[in-house]
């Protein structure tokens, strides 16, 4: 009996020791999810930086910012994503500060995406992960709802974690996050001036648009050989052409009087989605078949945007050169 009591006592002692030694699985799970969520925010911010122009144009399109302020707002929002990601990975005051901040940001994103979904439909790339991982507004809402659920789980399971100098490291992290987007991709407000298209004074063969050898090419509905026009030659698969298309959409929305005309080359199945995704329905456009004739008008470099006056190319360049004031001044000359 005494031996049995001693055995029972030993088993009870070991059970108590194991209970004390058992890791806090809720804490481990919350830390792991917090690091994973932080990585998502860091990736989201980084992918918006290269290229950052589509993200900038979004704020102009929404009327939140002008052309000069949009680059700063875009980088500040990327900085906020970097800060949230860093604080999540650091597990800094999750329940008191970081999770409420992250959840609030996700709610704001969801409201914005629902507005896009109701006004423009489930078309195009929402820009959540820049040009690296295109997502429709509905896909982005579903993604953000999933992240909000993760925030709820982290909040429920999180335990206070404090260690020496943690708050100082968090402050340094936030300062670094604030400056990093401006260091990685600096704002260049002079780009449109420094790269202003040079006068070239040659005649572009616009007759090819009206008398193409390819019978699939329809004649433009407007006369481009007389008067002033900004003719953009875009490839449907060129990533820089997509940025140009988005900027043209915003410029047209700001000033519908700008005489844009878009000539696109590529597979026919890409044409309609391209027009819809970048909101080009109201801008005169066409798809042009035949790479040789297309290149003879545009040249080999895409995108090519020609400032044409009575068939003479007076200026040319890419999307950097598209400046609303410069265009208006040129039209008045």
Locus of tokens 């970097």: 82
d(CA 202, CA 306): 11
From the candidate CATH numbers 3.40.605.10, 3.40.50.970, 3.40.30.10, 3.40.350.10, the one assigned to the domain spanning 191-332: 3.40.30.10
Task: Copy the structure tokens of residue 62.
Answer: 């929404």
d(CA 100, CA 119): 29
Q: What is the pLDDT of residue 18?
A: 42
Res 225 pLDDT > 80: yes
Q: What is the pLDDT of residue 35?
A: 94
Residue 209: strand, helix, or coil: helix
Residue 217 Cα distances to 268, 287, 290, angstroms:
12, 7, 9
Q: What is the pLDDT of residue 23?
A: 53
Give the number of other Cβ atoms within 10 Å of residue 8's Cβ: 10
Q: What is the pLDDT of residue 4?
A: 52
Q: What is the pLDDT of residue 110?
A: 94
Q: Is the dihedral of CA 242, 246, 247, 253 positive or negative?
A: positive
Give percent above pLDDT 70 in the chain: 90
- pLDDT averaged over every residue in the chain: 86
Task: Copy the structure tokens of residue 9.
Answer: 């006592």
Residue 157 Cα distances to 27, 93, 114, 152, 330, angstroms:
6, 13, 30, 9, 62
Q: Is the dihedral of CA 274, 276, 278, 284 positive or negative?
A: positive
How does residue 199 score in pLDDT terms, banded at 50, 70 and 90? low
Better pLDDT: 119 or 48: 48
pLDDT tens-place string over residues 246-279: 999 999 999 999 999 999 999 999 999 899 888 8
**Do the strands 312-317 and 304-309 form a parallel or antiparallel pair, or are they unpaired?**
antiparallel
Question: Which ranges in the chain are annotated with CATH 3.40.30.10?
Answer: 191-332
How does residue 189 score in pLDDT terms, banded at 50, 70 and 90? low
Taking only Cα atoms into account, the Rg of the chain, rounded to an integer number of angstroms, comes to 28
């Amino acid at each position: 009996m005494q031996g049995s009591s001693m055995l029972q006592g030993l088993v009870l002692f070991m059970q108590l020791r194991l209970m004390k030694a058992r890791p806090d699985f809720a804490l481990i799970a919350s830390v792991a999810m917090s690091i994973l969520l932080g990585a998502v925010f860091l990736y989201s911010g980084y992918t918006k930086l290269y290229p950052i122009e589509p993200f900038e144009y979004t704020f102009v399109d929404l009327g939140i910012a002008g052309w000069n302020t949009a680059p700063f707002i875009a980088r500040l929002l990327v900085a906020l994503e970097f800060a949230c990601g860093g604080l999540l990975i650091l597990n800094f005051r999750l329940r008191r500060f970081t999770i409420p901040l992250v959840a609030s940001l996700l709610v704001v994103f969801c409201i914005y995406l629902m507005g896009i979904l109701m006004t423009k439909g489930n078309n195009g790339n929402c820009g959540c992960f820049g040009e690296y991982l295109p997502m429709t507004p509905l896909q982005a809402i579903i993604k953000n709802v999933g992240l909000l659920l993760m925030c709820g789980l982290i909040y429920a399971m999180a335990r206070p974690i404090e260690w020496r100098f943690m708050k100082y490291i968090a402050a340094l992290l936030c300062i670094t996050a604030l400056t990093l987007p401006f260091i990685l991709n600096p704002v260049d407000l002079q780009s449109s001036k420094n790269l202003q298209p040079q006068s070239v004074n040659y005649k572009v063969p616009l007759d090819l648009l009206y008398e193409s050898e390819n019978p699939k090419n329809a004649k433009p509905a407007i006369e481009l050989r007389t008067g002033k026009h900004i003719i953009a030659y875009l490839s449907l698969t060129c990533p820089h052409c997509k940025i140009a298309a988005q900027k043209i959409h915003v410029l047209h929305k700001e000033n519908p009087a700008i005489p844009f005309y878009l000539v696109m080359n590529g597979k026919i199945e890409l044409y309609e989605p391209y027009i819809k995704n970048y909101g080009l329905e109201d801008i005169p456009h066409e798809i042009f078949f035949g790479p040789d004739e297309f290149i003879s008008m545009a040249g080999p470099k895409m995108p090519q945007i020609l400032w044409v006056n009575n068939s003479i190319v007076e200026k040319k360049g890419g999307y950097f050169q598209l400046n609303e004031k410069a265009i208006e001044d040129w039209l008045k000359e």
